[in-house]
Structure 1
Amino acid sequence: MMEVVERVDRLERVFASFMERTEEALADIRASTAEIRASNLRTDAILLEMQRQAEKDRQQADRDRQQADKDRQQADRDRQQADRDRQQADRDRQQAEKDRRDFNKRLAEASDSMGTLVEDMVAPNARRIASEIFPDDPVIRVAQRFRQTHPADRGRSIEIDLLAAGQRHLMIVEAKRRLGADKVREFLDAVRLIPEFLPEYAHHQLIPVVASVSIDPSIIPFLNRSRVYGVAMGDDTMQLVNPGLADSAPR
């Protein structure tokens, strides 16, 4: 009987020890489970915050992209407006140039009809034209619209529309309303008399120039053969129509 009691006691102690260890194991499991649950909650919170931040970043990226699109569209509109402004400025400039050319042409025609082409259009450009023909001989005298009496024969005189003199060159200009070969020949005949009427220029190289509002291109070869310069109205002012003649002229 005592043996049975002892075995029962031993079994109870073993069972009690088993239950104690089991309870400790369960406590460890519960603690681990709680820690895992807390870790999962922290992980879920981190993931949720990351998702929220990612959504914010995506929305901000969308706003930035939309703003960039707006900026690009505005830049395109600004560029197109700048192109339109530039084109309008070009048209305005071209119109202003055309208006200026038309005005200068009308002024030259009016001066020609009133017989003041020399005073209005040629004389203001005399020094420039002379410098294009003989650039190495600065102009020291310009005179216009005068009658010169022959120094030895007071009964003879010539009319000179304009002259421009340097130390070695004398430019004689005559204005013509209509320029033809016969007019050029008459002018050359008069130019040949210049040394008689202006002996102080007897040793100067004579530069004959005919001026007109317009010069027909067909007569330019004749002018070149005759060694006569032509001056006509250009876009802005009076210009040489045969400037190449100066390249072959003696200095």
Structure 2
Amino acid sequence: MKEKNQLPVNLNIKVSTMKFNLNLVKSILAVAGIAAVSGVSAAPASAFSFSNIASDNTSGDAYVNSFSFDVLDNGSNNVLFNIFNNNTDRSAAEIFIAAVHLDTGSNTNLLSNFGIINGRGVNFTEGATPLPQTNNLATPWSTDFAAGINRTRDGVQTGEVLGLSFTGNYNNVVDALNNGTLRLGMHVRGIGQKGDSDVFVSTGNTEATPEPLTMLAAGAAVGFGTMFKKQRAQAQKAE
């Protein structure tokens, strides 16, 4: 039998497309993959936020929620503070953390063996100028540990992180942060066109959070940070 001639069929299938920032997507997916793998053995972690200091300086009040930190139990009586710049406001792309201070209050034995872990693009060294505005706090402030920068570009920019390592009991540290006997203060600069600065102080938060979620949020911030840095670079070339 002769085979019947087959008629060619051309199918034109239109697939809808969506525009994404490829670098942002890659950053988020990469960190999400790491988070998924590490989720089974994630160390205990607690997330904290910051509040404004009531004063005449309100230049940074709108950005207080752009910053956060978590405390991780690293085992062997070691705790790690990760301080994040999660800013996603393109109009405030220049905002950065310039110094961090810790006040242990009467908890003289709570933390010891202070160490700095600089994330990519960050370069803090031990010591910093006094934290401004603390005279407006209801409870007097006394800095026990501090770290700061010498150059603006070394600060914690959008999507970057600063780590502080200590010898200490994780549960005791989290309890002290929650009841306010341990406080973390932060000096933020580069606010607005005039490059103003402001100070934020930690607030208690009893909600524990698994580390992979923190990593995912940080990954998203890294993606936005990449976009902001490209925008700054392009603006500088155009000038």
TM-score interval w.r.t. the shorter chain? under 0.3
Q: Which has the larger radius of gyration?
A: 1
More strand by share: 2
More helix by share: 1
Higher relative contact order (CA 8 A, sep 6+): 2
TM-score, structure 2 as length reference? 0.27
TM-score, structure 1 as length reference? 0.26
